[in-house]
A and B are shown apart, each in its own frame.
Chain A
Amino acid sequence: MMKKIISCLFIVFFSVQLFAQEQIIQIGQIAPEIALPTPNGKMMQLSSLKGKLVLIDFWASWCAPCVKEQPELKTIYEKHAQAVKENKFEILGVSLDKSEEDWVNAIQRLDIHWLQISDLKFWRSKVATDYAIEGLPYNVIVDEAGKIIAINLHGTALENFIAKHLQ
């Protein structure tokens, strides 16, 4: 009887987890193309980063947890500065901001040096649909061939994954 209850509990917990993580974007598939302007208005394409390991960080200046995560990304970026120099690694910040002023100010305030792009369309941005984003922060790691190899890793899991891949 007890075993049955425990099994039921596990099934419930796991199905809740599964529903929570239901997504169109999957590991193994080619990352959908992203083509959006940088703060200078220059168009930037994800496909132009082929050959590098790319961490796509979906964020926004209005998203408190995303802003809180930026210093952690900075640590990762600085730790792998050599790989960045050798064209082996890059971070692509894709913002769901609405206000250009807020976006640019946040980039400056947080002293972000990696690539930043946005169409300033908030949740109406095409990337939100293409990447089935349900909430921020959210990220995707794309390998040198443009294939998704990790989804939504944060903290030490993110740090370790990138370090291991760049080894």
Chain B
Amino acid sequence: MKRIMLSIFSLLIMSNVLLAQTKQEPWNSQQLLDPAILAKKINQNQTKNMLIYCIGPDAIIKGSINIGAGENAANIKKLKEQLKNVSKDKEVVIYCGCCPFDRCPNVRPAFKALKEMGFKNAKLLNLSNNIKTNWIDKNYPMND
């Protein structure tokens, strides 16, 4: 029994290591912004030094600007155009929320674009499941 348990655990650990190695995301954990933190900032009017862009289905987050799906090259161009005169120190938050990150075609091209442009405070809103469960269902602030 001990052997079986040990084998299961080692397999689990090995598969996690493998996954971590193969899934190199363009963002790191510090660049993931907790939705609760953003919601609090919006509610307390503390988003003046922040730009929030939707690169997914709909800009429902209060104060966010709609760019369109990040998988579309024309929308990435639009995002870059919007940001061309913005200071590289500005906090730029992008979000999608169509589906879990592993299935989302939008977040990676958009985040890469922010990195390429040299934004030091680029953030990806951590809507790890989707905009419904991670934002709407929590009654966080929305555009009307």
Interface residue ranges, A against B (CB under 8 Å): 2-3, 5-6, 60, 62-65, 98, 122-123, 128, 133-136
Contact = CB atoms under 8 A, between A and B. Distances in A.
Interface string B40-69: 000000000000000011101000000001
Contact of A63 (B1, B99, B129): B99
B133 to A, nearest CB: 6
Interface residues on B, range: 20 to 34
B130 A62 contact: no
Contact of B1 (A2, A65, A122, A123): A2
Contacts of A63: 57, 98-99
B131 A123 contact: yes
Contact of A64 (B58, B105, B129, B136): B105
Interface in B68-112: 69, 71, 98-100, 103-105
Nearest to B1: A2
Contacts of B132: 123, 128, 133-135
B5 A60 contact: no
B58 A65 contact: no
Given A64-B105, A122-B58, 9 more contacts: A3-B1, A62-B56, A64-B104, A65-B103, A98-B57, A122-B57, A122-B60, A123-B136, A134-B130
Contacts of A122: 57-58, 60
A64 B56 contact: no
A135 B129 contact: yes
